[in-house]
Amino acid sequence: MSGLEIERKFLVRGDDYKQWATSHSRIKQGYICSGRGRTVRVRRRDDRAYLTIKGPSPDGGLSRYEFEKEITLDEAEHLFQLCEPGIIDKTRYLVPSGAHTFEVDEFYGDNEGLTMAEVELSSPDEPYEKPPFIGREVTGDRRFYNSHLRLNPFCLWSKDLE
């Protein structure tokens, strides 16, 4: 898959999303490199693995170019050895809402206590239905980028959100 990715990110209130989830999967991801809005990521999602390259966002985090290619689990394990410090560990729940599906990520480790939801859109102004568990929008807030969370985990700054 490649092309322009348009998504909005939100904090999640409570854990009601679990009752509406149609599936969930465990994700481990690391970053081979990240900087100046560009990332090269390796991800293992259950029994599949991917190499993803993302470009900088021209519009404050709402959209960015993304290239993704499936790789073997063996290739992923070798690439994890090249990653910068800090691995992201989370469970992703898929929650339908209207014509869209929200991806809700529950984080573990030093990011425990953080739960975020993303919805992918076909255009920046596409309407979508917000499920009741959706909280404050954090689209474009770099603190909530996975590449940032690996070095500046939620446990270090979560108190600043109040």
Question: Which one of the listed residues 17, 31, 93, 145 is annotated catalytic?
Answer: 31
CA dist list (Å): 129 to 8, 63, 90, 96 = 12, 19, 24, 10
Q: Is position 31 annotated as part of the catalytic site? A: yes
Q: Which residues contact 94 (CB under 8 A, 6 or more apart)?
A: 21, 22, 23, 24, 101, 102, 103, 104
| CA separation for the pair 113, 111 (Å, rounded) | 6
Query: Would you please indicate which residues are annotated as catalytic (active-site) residues?
Result: 31
